[in-house]
Chains A and B, each alone.
Chain A
Amino acid sequence: MNVATEPVLAVQGLTTGFDTARGRLVAVNDLSFSLARGETLAIVGESGCGKSVAALSIMRLLETPPALILGGTIRFAGRDLAQADEATMSGLRGAKLSMIFQEPMTALNPSMKVGLQIAEPLMRHRGLTREAALARAVEMLDLVRIPEAARRAEDYPHRMSGGMRQRVMIAMALACEPDLLIADEPTTALDVTIQAQVLEILRALQARMGAAVILITHDLGVVAEVADRVVVMYAGHKVEEADVASLFARPRHPYTHGLMRSVPRVNAPGRASGGRVRLPEIAGIVPALDQRPPGCPFVPRCPLASARCAEMPPLAEHSPGHWAACWHSDAVGQAAGAGHA
Chain B
Amino acid sequence: MPAAANTYRAKRRVRLWAGAALVGTYVLIALIGDRLAPYHPDEQDLFNILGAPDAAHWLGADNIGRDQFSRLLVGTRFTLAVAFLSVVLAVTIGATLGLIGGYFGGRVDAAVTGLVDLLLTVPELILAIAIASVVGAGMTGLIVATTASFVPRLARLIRGRVLEIREEEYVQAAITVGMSDARVLLRHVMPNAVTVIVIEASLLAGQAVLVGTALGFLGLGVQPPAPEWGTMLGAGREYLDVAPHLVVMPGIAISLLIFGFNLLGDGLRDALDPRSRA
Contacts and interface: CB of A to CB of B under 8 A. Distances in A.
B177 A172 contact: yes
B177 A107 contact: no
Interface in A43-93: 59, 61, 90-93
B169 A103 contact: yes
B170 A107 contact: yes
Interface string B153-170: 000000000000000111
B178 A108 contact: no
Given A59-B176, A109-B188, 20 more contacts: A61-B172, A90-B178, A90-B179, A93-B175, A93-B176, A93-B177, A94-B177, A99-B176, A101-B169, A101-B173, A107-B172, A108-B173, A109-B170, A109-B187, A111-B192, A111-B194, A120-B177, A120-B187, A124-B177, A124-B183
Kindly name the residue among B170, B178, B188, B192 whose own CB sees the greatest number of chain A CB atoms within 10 A: B178
B180 interface: yes
Contact of B178 (A112, A124, A169): A124
Contacts of B175: 61, 90, 93
Contacts of A61: 172, 175-176
A256 interface: no
A111 B172 CA distance: 15
A92 B177 CA distance: 8
Contacts of B192: 109-111
Contact of A110 (B170, B177, B178, B183): B170
Interface residues of B, number: 19
Contact of A106 (B170, B178, B188): B170
A149 to B, nearest CB: 19
B131 interface: no
Contacts of A101: 169, 172-173, 176
Given A111-B192, A112-B187, A106 B177 contact: no
Contacts of B183: 120, 124
A187 interface: no
| Chain B contact residues, majority secondary structure | helix
A94 B178 contact: yes
A121 interface: yes
A92 B178 contact: yes
B27 interface: no
B170 A91 contact: no
A106 B168 contact: yes
A59 B170 CA distance: 16
B172 A98 contact: no
Interface of B: 168-180, 183, 187-188, 191-192, 194
Kindly name the residue among B177, B178, B187 whose own CB sees the greatest number of chain A CB atoms within 10 A: B177
A215 interface: no
Given A109-B188, A111-B192, A112-B187, A124 B179 contact: yes
A203 B180 CA distance: 30
Contacts of A103: 169
Nearest to B105: A63
Given A109-B188, A112-B187, A121 B179 contact: yes
Contact of B173 (A90, A110, A172): A172
A260 interface: no
A232 interface: no
B178 A125 contact: yes
A94 B176 contact: yes
B95 to A, nearest CB: 16
A101 to B, nearest CB: 5
Contacts of B177: 93-94, 98, 120-121, 124, 172-173, 175-176
A59 B172 CA distance: 11
A106 B240 CA distance: 60
B108 to A, nearest CB: 15
Nearest to A59: B176
Contact of B174 (A59, A109, A111, A176): A109
A59 B173 CA distance: 12
Contacts of B187: 109, 112, 120
Contacts of A90: 175, 178-180
A92 B176 CA distance: 9
A106 B169 contact: yes
A286 to B, nearest CB: 24
6 contacts: A90-B179, A93-B178, A107-B170, A109-B171, A109-B187, A125-B178
Nearest to B188: A109
Interface string A109-149: 11110000000110011000000000000000000000000
A118 B176 CA distance: 12
A258 B169 CA distance: 32
A95 interface: yes
A137 to B, nearest CB: 12
B170 A108 contact: yes
Interface string A140-174: 00000000000000000000000000000100110
A112 B187 CA distance: 8
Contact of A107 (B173, B178, B191): B173
Nearest to A109: B170
Contacts of A110: 170, 192
